[in-house]
Structure formats: structure tokens, C-alpha cells
Chains A and B, each alone.
Chain A
Amino acid sequence: MKFDCIVIGAGHAGTEAALAVSRLGYKTLLLTMSLDSIGFLACNPNIGGTSKAQLVREIDALGGEMGLFADEAVIQMKMLNGAKGAAVRSLRGQVDKNLYHRIVKRRLERQPNLTIRQDEATELLTDGGAVKGIKTAMGFVYTSGAVVIATGVYLDSRIIIGEFTKKSGPSGFFAAENGLAKSLRDCGVELRRFKTGTPPRVHKRSIDLNAMQIQEGESGICRFSFMNGYYDVPPDAQTPCYLTYTTAATRDIIKENIARSPMYNGAIEGTGPRYCPSIEDKIMRFADKERHQIFIEPEGADTDEMYIQGASSSLPTDVQLKVIRSIIGLENAEIMRFAYAIEYDCLNPEQLLPTLGVKHIKGLYTAGQLNGTSGYEEAAAQGLIAGINAANYLGGKDGLVLGRNEAYIGVLIDDLVTKGTNEPYRMMTSRAEYRLTLRQDNADSRLTEKGRAAGLVTDGRYALYLKKQDEIAAVLAKTAEVLSPDKSLEDIFEAKGAAFVKRGYTVGELVRRPEFTFADLEPVIGSLQAFSRAALAEAEADIKYGGYIEKQNAEIKSFLKADNIRLPSDIDYESMTGLKAEARIKLAKIRPLSVGQAMRISGVSPADINVLMIYIGRMR
């Protein structure tokens, strides 16, 4: 059978990729090993969180769909860092996992141009350095001009629980063990082994929730998708989570049994993520910490399965049970699923272009955990970019590459392809140097035009975007207004406990101060009814960060200067005598597209860049 594009894997990356390519008019095949694992949330039952919410909003602004799925499946919303500045606020939604899966599956089923099939890809077919199609376990041969691989943690995966180990995908799904990894190696793709894990799930009736602190949701916060406005469900109508702690007994049990941990006795060779440490890791590494936080999160609205966040482990089942029962409120815990570690094949992302295309195989794109990342949001972001770029490739258009100054997605992909990663890569706000402007409240302002150009932003969304832009402009126009120092202004100052000097104040200078918001000034600047909450929030953040954004813009300017110097793809780094050996090897491997990218490669020094500049100067 013949397709324009084949997407392997229907997780969060594969879903976005398949939707993007098929929506852009290409006949697409989505291959999954199990239709029941489409859009499966294999680990935590939530979407968003610090820096990840930014990713979701960016996906949404570009016309991707994760935000829409999450909004529909949400059972609790919370704004992390809500009391802090807009740039570090992050939305997190607890979602019903099963509902989420059903929403995604239904969405895919209704997509024109998209064929969904349950089968396992076993071989990548190439011809003269370009993809040609795939073969499957059931013996089908599908041809296509482009292939997106998003196999998640399934590639030759095995799970480990203490001494027990088994070839398996996550949560009992089968591993993809019938040749795809080998085929990729045969095609010259460099693979390696990573490891991740998940905590146990416990039956709700066995948990003493009264011994824990209830963690309620919030209302009046902007949803994930720009299309969906604000979330105003009252907290008591949302499903709560709970907070509890480990005890001294937890520590003793783990210390006693540490030799039985596969992480410690060497049975696991894969590299695990630092930001997702197992409970045994936390106890061993932070021995003097008295207790560790454990969050109890519902897996859904109509299930009693509870996710024990903070207790991921690869200890044997008998030890796990003891450890869980040593936690306050979990003394009688009934474990429904044990925690496990999972080891899988992924590729070294240094082999990728910033478009997520594999450098040496035309038409081949990869996304998600296969690229060495971790997290649903990171996967979806890559899936969307890989999908757009597969379509662009098929249509003979230039690839879409977002800059580090434009989006967290840009930071994510640039980090991956430029610096590589030695552990599953997780997005963090500290990775984004320009985070004051890469906010969740302005993702639509940053990226809607790009999504429109890519062809995924619908007319409805675009009109909504233009409306918000007009509102922002109108709000900003108010900032020049001078307020006379009359009684009503003085009252506002007094209410905020701010010192009032009898003089004219501009709206802008007041909003810039930490204590005032536009809403506070309503009595003197008139009703803000005409403006959406989202427009006000974005304008306000831009004003408050004004001075710092200026500082940042100066940095961005010099960053862009280097990023805009393109490097020809046929540079012969081997012959550049001035380069240090390490730089020469790294440059030849990564083949940066710009001087800016070259500068970010570890092992390439400013002196090497100088030499590089001189060579390209010569070539001009």
C-alpha cells in the first residue's frame, strides 16, 4: 500500500505528528502496536507543570492538539508558582488517563487522510539515502516518501522489578522487539540505552486520606488551549490530590535492602534521569533529609487507582510493599501495580537536524522519547515539529525551526541536536535563557503566525488571535495616560499601602510596580470589560518585566546575529587546520546550520569559532 507519510507509534509524539501531516493534506498511515495504547499516559496522571505548560501552550498556538485533549480530560487544575511572576507561572492539570486515551483515539479516528492500523513496524526501507517505506511484523510493505518514528520507550524495552525482569513495553504492553531497532542500526542510526521508571499504583480504599494534606485545585485560570478560555470550575468540584511523607522507617527499609536494587547492584545499565529519581535514590543520596514528599494523585475520575508520585522504584516487590507501607497514611496500602524501571533503545539526537530530520536519511524524522527526552509534553512538541517538517519535506518546502528566543520548543530541540543528552532530557525553565518572554500567557502571540504559515492554524483560531492582539494594543495604549492625583487615585494607593505623592502618574509606571495591576486601577482608568482576561494578563506581564525584557532583548540581538550567519552544509571541517581536534570532531558530527549553533556545541571554544568565521569569510 502507498502513503505519503507513515507515522510509527501513536503516543503523544506520534499523535501530533500524524494529525499534522494528515491535516496538511498528506495521506498518512499511523501504525501502533495496540490501539488501546493510543494517547496512553504511561506514568503521571497530569499534563503541564513548570516549563511543560509552556510547551503545551506553544503546541496549541502552532495548531497542535495536546492542549485541547488535556482541557477535555482535566479533573483538576492548578497554577504552579501562581504567586510568582508571569514568566514562571505554569499550569498543571490532573487528567483522567483513560478519558484522555479515548479523546485522542476518537480525534484520530475522525481525521480525514489518516489511516490507523494495529501492527508492528519491523524494518525501515531506504533507497539511495532516502526513506522508501516500511515492513511490518504481519508482513505488510507500505511505501511512503516520509516516515516519522515515535516509538517512545517501546524499542527493545524491558522492565525491571528487583530480580524480576521481562521484555515488555510500559504497563504490560508488548515491547517492539521484532527488528526495528536492528533495522535502524543497519541504516546507520546510532542507538543507545536509556532508563526511566514509574511509581506504584495503590487502591484508594486502602489509603488513609485523613492522615494526609488535601491538595485542591484552583479556578479562574486560563486553560491549556487558547481556544478554550478560562477554567472556572470551583475547587470543591474538582478531584483533589493528597500530600504525605516518608518516615524514618522508609529510610531504614531502603538502606537495609539497597543491595537488592537493580540500580545499585548494576543490573540496570541504562542511564536514568536525575530529575526523576527513584525513592531509593533520594534516600541514599540525601541521607540526612528527614522525610520526602509523596503526592497521591487519582488516575482518573471513575477509578480507585491512585498514583504514588515520589515513590518510583525498581526494588523487588516485597521491599516495595514494605516501603509503601512505611509512608504516612499508606500503612495498609494495597498495591495494584508495582513500580518498575524500564530500559529502552533511543537514538543519539546529535544525529538530527533542527528539523528533527535524520541527517543522513532523507525523509526520515524522529520524535519523542526515541530522541532521548522524557515527558508527554516534550514528546508532543517534537511530534508536532516532526510532522510539520515531514509535510514540508513532502511539499518541497523549507523546514520549520523555532529559535531559542522564540519558544521552549526551540530550546528543547536546539539542546537535543546541538548538545545531545546523556540522560532522558526534561524541559526546565532554567534551560531557557529568554524565559521572561517565553511565557505561557503569550505563546499565542509568539507562535500563532508561525502555525498559520505552517498551515495548522484554523480561521477560527486565527480570528481569535487577531482579536487578542487588538486588545493588547488597546491596553498598551492606555499606559501613556496620565492620571491626575485626585482622591480616587489616592484611595487606590492607600488600599495597597503604597506611599502617595501628589503628582500625575502614568498608567504604565503604576502597572510596572509590583503592587498594582490593571484591575486595581479600574476606578481611575475606566472599565476593562472590553478586554479579555488573557489580553490583560499578557500586557501586564510585558509591562512589569519591561526593564528586564529590554536587557534580554539586547542579548537576543547578539544571539540572533550569530544564529543568522548560516554555515554551508558542505563544510569540510576535517581540513580546517586551525580547529582543535575535539572541535573538529564535534563540528563534523553535528554539522551546525549556523555559527550560533556551532557556538553552543560543547567542546567548541570561542577560538574555534574565530577560526570557523575566518574560513567562511574566505569562502564568501
Chain B
Amino acid sequence: MDKIIAAQSTAAGKGGIGIIRMTGKGCLDIAAKIFTSGGLKDVIKAKPNVMYFGRIDAGAAKDKGYLVYFKEPHSFTGEDTVEFHCHGGQAVLNAVLDGLFGLGAQPAERGEFTRRAFLNGKLALSDAEGVIDMINADSTAALKAAYRMMSGGLSKEIYSMQESLLKLIASYEAALDYPDEIGTETVAHTAALKKLADRAAALIAASNKSATVKRGVNVVLIGKPNTGKSSLLNGFVKKDRAIVTDIPGTTRDTLEESFEYDGVRLNVVDTAGIREKETAGIIELKGIERSIDAAKGADIVLYVIDSPLYAEDKDACLPYGAYAEKSGEKAIAVFNKSDIKDVLTQCRGRIKKEFGGTAAFSVSAKTGDGIDKLLGYIAGLFKGGNVSDAEIMTNQRHVAALRGAYDGILSAVSADGIGAECILVDLRNAWTKLGEITGQTATEDILDKIFSEFCLGK
């Protein structure tokens, strides 16, 4: 009732634009944290029913788009509502949603927007007839189903984490309620809590990867002008979609192409080549800016390098690491035009020196040589190999709950020198969050644990 909820309101998949809707008191405060606009200095003072153009910066994704604020009661739900009109790529929309969840919004239950609209008198009875059925079909049933759908290993892991947490809570509680009996035993559980936090963090990391797989891996082509990025994109999808010329700087805007390779969806974004500002025109500069943004939000950045130029030792690559962290996992060096020169064999020593542990591939956009090897490598990173299927949480609500639990545990760990009664505020929150996944949250459970673990009472 009180919480802020958010969901994508346009159909999933690729469209011209995509709309994300967030409703609930205070949603504008959240919006203000990810939206900046030249025309609107102070986002929380946005006028209702006005479209503002600006930048949406949700950490993992950046986009330009519009914000519209609807003031209660003049909105669909009857509560304060904010809409983001973004570009239609699902990757962007997912990232924006993730950003909103990270800031305190909650994934909307099915039918929740409609339910709120009804409760706030915005819908007639006849409109809301279907709402009960909708809710019935969802909520706990869906929760349970989602829990059941988790792999055995994963549900066991969550359950075991909840058990460990419950044990810790019980021992803290027992010491508080029975000081005569356990008051003297020191309660030092920080190590156990840290371990628990690590377990949660590992699950979250894995699920982030899995979310990546679900929405598609965002691959961004980046490089100096005329290194053949657009040709590569064409080579990837085997059709002439991007405009290819040999005039440096032809691509002025980013282009996205989505396709499946070896069971993994890849959203490949071609960007404008990046070169010194002095030589670039205004339109091109805009394009370059977008290229940089795209790279920052990418899962994989392909540094495309002109092989013949590289062999001649000319200024062939972008300052490495300037546009994406230099982590080996995220960056891949792609030496294009291998039909002219295969530097990977010829300049092995130099590449090793300059690119360190980064994966490097030799390809030819023109002949198609090496492309399968490159795509296979990328797909391999996101299936099997790095992420174990058994430990992936796919349900968005589960991930949000787990993240909440993780925050609670971390907060308890950092509560140095503070009493158990305070630590318990965080731990109980964490436990309730895990309970949202497993369906166990009653105080009775804590009491049961206390009395089964400790011999207490007069």
C-alpha cells in the first residue's frame, strides 16, 4: 500500500520506445536520483503532465529520454506517478528498472497498478472485475511456484541461508530474553554473518549474470573511426543493415542488432568511431558521446582495431581502459581486417605486452573469418562455463528480496559496538526478506528455534 512500485508498461521486446511507469508516494524522489535535465534543474519540482527531456542514468545503462510526472490523484493509479519514455531496447529498459529497484522501488505485483487504480476510485467496478482473478492467479501461488521452479540446489541454498540466519537470530534473542541462563556466554557471530553475506553476494552476482542472459548480452563495438565496426556488425548478423562506407565517421549514431548465437542472445551495438574532437563535426561529436555511454553500460566491449594499421605501429587503438574498465572479462580486443594482415600471429609479443590478459581475436569482417570463433567465445562466457545453472535466480522479485536480505546482513555486520537489540533489527529484516522467497516469516519460527536450540526457562 505504501510502497513504490515500478514496471515496464509497454510490451516486452524491441519497440521504438519503451515506457517504464513508477507509482506511489515519493516516486518523484527516486526519479530525481536517476534523471537529469537541463530544462528542469530540480526534478522533484517537476510540473505535472509536462514532458521533460533529459538523461536517464541508471548505473548500468544510460539513455536519453523523457520524464513525465502525474500528480495524485490525476494519474492512472490515483497516486503520484512518474513515467520514463526510453529508447525501446529491452536492455536499456531492464537496466533502468534495475536502477529503480536499487533505489527502493519494488517490482509491481501482477495487476497491482490496476488494483491501486481501483482502490483509489479511478476505475469503475466493471473495469476491476478481473482484478481478483488476476491476483488470485498470482501472488502466493506464483510465489510458491517460483520457489518451486528454482533448481533444487538453489532453493536448498536459500533455505539453508535462512536457517543459518534463524539460528543466529535465535541465539541473539535467547541471550536477551534469558540473561540469567546465557548472559555469560559471549555472543560473537560476526564471522558467521560475514560468511552469510558472502553467500548472498555470490547468489546475487550469479543472478545478475543470469538476468544478463535473459535480456541478452549487451555487446558494444567501439574503436577508432574506420576500423570496420559497422562491417563487423553486418558480419555478425550476415545482412547489410548498418550503412558501410569507407569514409571515416560514417556511423553517426549507435545501431543495435539483436540475434542469438549458440543459445545466447546478443544485443550488439555499433557505435560511432571515436576520434579527437578537433577533427569531428558536431553531429559526430554527439555520436561519440553516445558511444562512450554505450560502452559504459555494456556487458562486453569489443575494441575493434585495424590490423594493418596496428602492424604499422600507427596510432591504431583507443586508449585502452578509458571507455570500460580494463577487466579481462568485459573487454575483448578484436583485430579486424585479418584478411589483409593477421597481427595476432605476427605481433604476438607486442599484443601480449599491450593487452595483457585480455582476450584477443583476429577476424575479418569482409571474409567472415574468425567471427564464429569470437561469437562462440562471447556466448561461452554467459552459458555453462562461468555461471552455474544450479545457482541462478531468475525471478526478479526473488533477486530484489535477496538484495534486501544482503543489505540487512551487511548492516548488522557493520554495527560495531552496538547492542544485539539493534543488530536484531537488521537481522530480522534480512530474515523477513529471505522469507519472502521461502514463505517463512512468522515470529513463532524464531521462538521455536530459541527453545529447540537452548535449554531455557525456570
Name A's B-contacting residues (CB within 8 A): 44, 50-51, 80-81, 84-85, 87-88, 199, 273-277, 282, 285-286, 289, 292-293, 295, 309-310, 312, 419, 428-431, 433, 435-436, 514, 545, 548, 551-552, 557-558, 561-562, 577-578, 602, 605-607, 610-611, 613-614, 617-618
Q: How far is the CB of B346 from chain A (nearest CB, A)?
A: 61
Q: How far is the CB of A497 from chain B (nearest CB, A)?
A: 13
Q: How far is the CB of B299 from chain A (nearest CB, A)?
A: 35
B442 at the interface (CB under 8 A from A): yes
* Alpha-carbon gap, A429 to B133, bound state (A): 40
Verify B140–A605 contact, CB threshold 8 A.
Answer: yes
* Alpha-carbon gap, A85 to B418, bound state (A): 9
Please list 25 pairs of residues, one from A and one from B, whose beta carbons are closer than 8 Å in the complex, sorted by A's number: A84-B419, A87-B419, A88-B176, A199-B458, A274-B451, A275-B457, A286-B455, A292-B455, A312-B458, A419-B444, A429-B421, A430-B443, A433-B443, A514-B418, A545-B422, A561-B1, A562-B1, A578-B136, A607-B135, A607-B138, A610-B115, A610-B139, A611-B136, A614-B115, A617-B118
8 A-B pairs closest in CB distance: A607-B139, A85-B419, A286-B455, A430-B173, A275-B457, A274-B451, A578-B132, A605-B140
8 Å CB interface, B20-69 against A? none
Verify B119–A614 contact, CB threshold 8 A.
Answer: yes
Verify A80–B180 contact, CB threshold 8 A.
Answer: yes
Verify B132–A435 contact, CB threshold 8 A.
Answer: no
Q: Which of chain A's residues have a CB closer than 8 A to the CB of B132? A: 577-578, 611, 614
Q: Which of A44, A80, A419 contacts B458 (CB 8 A)?
A: A44
Verify B457–A429 contact, CB threshold 8 A.
Answer: no
* Alpha-carbon gap, A159 to B456, bound state (A): 24
Question: A514, A548, A562 — which one has the most chain B CB atoms within 10 A of its CB?
Answer: A548
8 Å CB interface, B111-143 against A? 115, 118-119, 125, 128, 131-133, 135-136, 138-141
Q: Which residue of A lies closest to B1 (CB)?
A: A561
Q: Which of chain B's residues have a CB closer than 8 A to the CB of A274? A: 447, 451, 457
Q: Which of chain A's residues have a CB closer than 8 A to the CB of B139? A: 605-607, 610
Q: How far is the CB of B247 from chain A (nearest CB, A)?
A: 59
Q: Which of chain B's residues have a CB closer than 8 A to the CB of A51? A: 177
8 Å CB interface, B169-197 against A? 173, 176-181, 183
* Alpha-carbon gap, A551 to B180, bound state (A): 30
Verify A85–B421 contact, CB threshold 8 A.
Answer: yes
8 Å CB interface, B402-458 against A? 417-422, 425, 428, 442-444, 446-447, 450-451, 455-458
Verify A607–B180 contact, CB threshold 8 A.
Answer: no
Verify B176–A282 contact, CB threshold 8 A.
Answer: no
B2 at the interface (CB under 8 A from A): yes
Question: B177, B428, B447 — which one has the most chain A CB atoms within 10 A of its CB?
Answer: B177
* Alpha-carbon gap, A578 to B183, bound state (A): 49
Verify A81–B179 contact, CB threshold 8 A.
Answer: yes
Q: Which of chain A's residues have a CB closer than 8 A to the CB of B442? A: 602
Verify A617–B136 contact, CB threshold 8 A.
Answer: no
Q: Which of chain B's residues have a CB closer than 8 A to the CB of A558? A: 1-3
Q: Which of chain A's residues have a CB closer than 8 A to the CB of B446? A: 430
Q: How far is the CB of B46 from chain A (nearest CB, A)?
A: 25
Other than A552-B425, A607-B136, give 8 A-B pairs with Cβ distance below 8 A: A295-B180, A430-B173, A545-B422, A548-B425, A607-B139, A613-B115, A617-B118, A618-B125
Verify B119–A84 contact, CB threshold 8 A.
Answer: no
* Alpha-carbon gap, A263 to B385, bound state (A): 58
Interface size class of B (residues with CB under 8 A): 35 or more
Q: Which of chain B's residues have a CB closer than 8 A to the CB of A419? A: 444
Q: Which of B140, B421, B450 contacts A88 (CB 8 A)?
A: B421
Q: How far is the CB of A114 from chain B (nearest CB, A)?
A: 34
* Alpha-carbon gap, A482 to B140, bound state (A): 53
Verify B455–A428 contact, CB threshold 8 A.
Answer: no
* Alpha-carbon gap, A610 to B442, bound state (A): 19
Q: Which residue of A lies closest to B450 (CB)?
A: A430
Q: How far is the CB of A563 from chain B (nearest CB, A)?
A: 11
Verify A84–B457 contact, CB threshold 8 A.
Answer: no
* Alpha-carbon gap, A577 to B442, bound state (A): 26
Q: Which of chain B's residues have a CB closer than 8 A to the CB of A557? A: 2
Q: Which of chain A's residues have a CB closer than 8 A to the CB of B418? A: 514
Q: How far is the CB of B454 from chain A (nearest CB, A)?
A: 8
Q: Which of chain B's residues have a CB closer than 8 A to the CB of A617? A: 118-119
Q: Which of A44, A84, A309, A562 contacts B420 (CB 8 A)?
A: A84
Q: Which residue of A lies closest to B133 (CB)?
A: A578
* Alpha-carbon gap, A275 to B448, bound state (A): 10
Q: Which of chain B's residues have a CB closer than 8 A to the CB of A275? A: 451, 456-457
* Alpha-carbon gap, A293 to B180, bound state (A): 9
Q: Which of chain B's residues have a CB closer than 8 A to the CB of A80? A: 179-180, 183
Q: Which of B140, B179, B417 contacts A607 (CB 8 A)?
A: B140
Q: How far is the CB of B179 from chain A (nearest CB, A)?
A: 5
* Alpha-carbon gap, A146 to B212, bound state (A): 67
Q: Which of chain A's residues have a CB closer than 8 A to the CB of B458? A: 44, 199, 276, 295, 309-310, 312
Q: How far is the CB of A543 from chain B (nearest CB, A)?
A: 13
Verify A613–B119 contact, CB threshold 8 A.
Answer: yes
* Alpha-carbon gap, A577 to B139, bound state (A): 16
* Alpha-carbon gap, A419 to B119, bound state (A): 28
Q: How far is the CB of B420 from chain A (nearest CB, A)?
A: 7
Q: Which residue of B lies closest to A84 (CB)?
A: B419
* Alpha-carbon gap, A613 to B128, bound state (A): 13
* Alpha-carbon gap, A602 to B141, bound state (A): 17
Verify A430–B177 contact, CB threshold 8 A.
Answer: yes
* Alpha-carbon gap, A46 to B30, bound state (A): 53
Q: Which residue of A lies closest to B178 (CB)?
A: A50
Q: Which residue of A lies closest to B142 (CB)?
A: A607
Q: Which of chain B's residues have a CB closer than 8 A to the CB of A87? A: 419, 421
Verify A50–B450 contact, CB threshold 8 A.
Answer: no
